[in-house]
Amino acid sequence: MKKSKNKQFTTGRQKVSPPLQPPADLHRRYWIYCLAIAVITLITFIPSLQNEFVDTWDDQGYVIDNPQITGLSFNKIKEIFTSDIWGNYNPLTILTFGVERYFFGSGPFIYHLDNLLLHIICTVLVFRLTHLLIPSLIPACVISLLFGIHPLHVESVAWVTERKDVLFGVFYLLSLIVYIKYARTGKNRYYFFTAAFFLLSLFSKIQAVSLPLSLLCIDYFLGRPLRGKTIYEKIPLLALSVIFGLIGIHFLKEMKAFYVSSEFTLTDRPFIGTYGLTIYIIKSLIPFKLAAYYPYPEKENGFLPIAWYASFLVAPVLLYILWKTYRKVKFVFFGLLFFLFNIVFLLQILEAGGAFLADRFSYVSFYGLFFIVGNYAGKFYGKFPRIKIVLISTASAYFIILAVISWNRCKIWKNSLTFWNDEIAKYPAVSFSYTNRAGVFIKMDRLDKAVEDFTSYIALRPMNPEGYYKRGIVFNEMKNSEAALNDFSSAIKINSSYFDAYFHRSGILTDAGRYEEALADCDKMLSLNPDAPEAWNSRGSVHFRQGKFTDALEDINKTISLDPAYKDAFRNRAILFDMLGLPERAVIDFDSHLKLYPQDNEARTWRENVAGKIAAGGGK
């Protein structure tokens, strides 16, 4: 028999089907559709460009007050690559913030713009990746459009801190794309680029450790036998995954953010994992009740809600689907396995943080589910030509709904106030939402609203002294001394070692002329921390009010010995020296104070008056 002259692309001895060559008009439509999807994605996320930083939800530490991004010197870059941010190792992401700060300043627009541009790049790469796997434009359009406008991806785009997702996504997808070229050509340069993009992805976000598993999914879909070289070539990539995984665990342990919860036992964790898995699958199609923080359930009599136990049934169902589709429906097996490989490490089997799921965890993993949907869409479109208009209309309506949800969801990330308003509306029993929103109201000088939020927090956590203490601070700022005093006393009643509550209560008692009670609070502070300069300074203030200037001087001397830069310590001692008839020493301390606080015009005036007395012959 005459052998066919048609050659196949090979990798060693492994035969892999070559890609189909598109005709010219298909090539043109490819770029038209790709551009259209990029534009739709851009329009959907346009509101994010008007957003500020969410300074009460990680943006403060990652960008606003991050000392690592204040320059691009070698030492700064070294610091970025050798340290973490709150237990997260994302040095390349942090470096991009540093570049933006260096060239464009600290305004939020450029950070949001770059997030959006990176997301659009990811969407285009999804289109390219899909078309490499399936040379059909309909699945590529559906899958990339779902990826581009899906509401669960808003968190990754509209939240500056989640630069991690869109940046790691770019390199992750590039790695998959060049790996396909490697699998089809066997050229080593493509393997090198696969590894290089993988490394960049790992430096962007450790979530990229799943890439070797995703490559096995690619191998399966391309028909590469899962043995021999196909396995061996993954070993260097797996080594990178292990190294970065250990780095991530190290930093999480340092932050004490990686642990087994005392509230949820080891027997609870599998059900928490399967419930999260179920919710991700449902939300991929029906994005409901989206939030930035999804709290764990409240246990009743030591048990999780029944729905969490029932969710365990999803595990055998998914295994059954994988078994049935392995040989018969490759796109389902590929898509489901890709999703599972990329979500399994994020299912909180071991708790790392306070939420059991997060929208941002879906960023790459949802590609697998979208792959299934897109392929079914292509099959239905070709199988039922008579109802194409109905199919197109239904799909268009669905995409419009997703886009509208995403558009509005971008506005939730406008600033800290809109953010916490939404969180409280969705999950009103999450207590820390009220304290965070109260902090926003304090910055806005809406102290009455801050009091309301602290009151809500106290209602949820009546035995937590923090709520009373923080509300007391606000009452004190509002000049409501009696309410502040009651709150500080309540905090102390719950926690008799609450140093800060004693500190503020002593100040109120001093102003009220209740000196003995104030002294008792000062002495309590000193028993809790004898090296606290604020305790000595407070006691000195009480002695000053009592007219015990010598005792007050001893306390202020102690304050300065512990902290020479303690606010107003030199000023207070200068006043004492003046009262004790020692103007020369008073002038010296006023000078020391004004070096630290040159804008204190009141102290400057007092110094001039004391100096005037010396010039008039009143010094001793």
pLDDT of residue 12: 42
Give the residue carrying structure tokens 């292990």: 242
DSSP 286: S
Asked if residue 156 lies in contact with residue 165, where contact means CB atoms within 8 angstroms, the answer is yes
pLDDT of residue 502: 96
For helices 515-528 and 499-511, the axis angle rounded to 10 degrees is 160
- Residue 61 — φ and ψ, nearest 5°? -80, -35
DSSP 356: S
| Token pair of 151 as six digits | 């509401």
Count Cβ atoms below 10 Å from residue 158 Cβ, excluding itself. 26
Burial of 96 (0-12, 13-18, 19+ CB in 10 A): buried
CA-nearest of 89, 236, 174, 226 to 364 is 174
Cα-atom radius of gyration of the chain, to the nearest Å? 32
Averages of pLDDT over runs of 10 residues in the chain (620 residues) are 41 49 70 94 97 93 92 92 88 96 94 97 97 92 96 97 96 98 93 96 95 96 89 94 89 67 79 93 95 89 90 94 92 96 85 76 96 91 78 92 97 96 95 95 95 96 95 95 95 95 95 94 95 93 91 92 88 88 89 90 89 72
Full DSSP string of 208-272: GGGHHHHHHHHHHHHT--SSTHHHHTTHHHHHHHHHHHHHHHHHHHHTT-SB--SSS-TTTHHHH
**How many Å apart are CA 86 and CA 444, to the nearest integer?**
27
pLDDT of residue 6: 42
Pairing of strands 9-11, 14-16: antiparallel
Count Cβ atoms below 10 Å from residue 541 Cβ, excluding itself. 21
Q: Please list, in sequence order, all residues whose beta carbon lies within 8 angstroms of the beta carbon of residue 12, skipping any fewer than 6 positions away.
A: 186, 228, 229
**pTM of the predicted protein model:** 0.87
State the Cα angle at 135 between 393 and 22, rounded to 5°.
110
Count Cβ atoms below 10 Å from residue 95 Cβ, excluding itself. 20
300 bridge partner residues: 303
- Residue 497 — φ and ψ, nearest 5°? -110, 20
Asked if residue 538 lies in contact with residue 522, where contact means CB atoms within 8 angstroms, the answer is yes
**How many Å apart are CA 158 and CA 596, to the nearest integer?**
41
Burial of 81 (0-12, 13-18, 19+ CB in 10 A): middle
Give the residue carrying structure tokens 């102390």: 492
State the Cα angle at 573 between 568 and 575, rounded to 5°.
95
pLDDT of residue 391: 84
Asked if residue 122 lies in contact with residue 166, where contact means CB atoms within 8 angstroms, the answer is yes
| Token pair of 157 as six digits | 């785009």
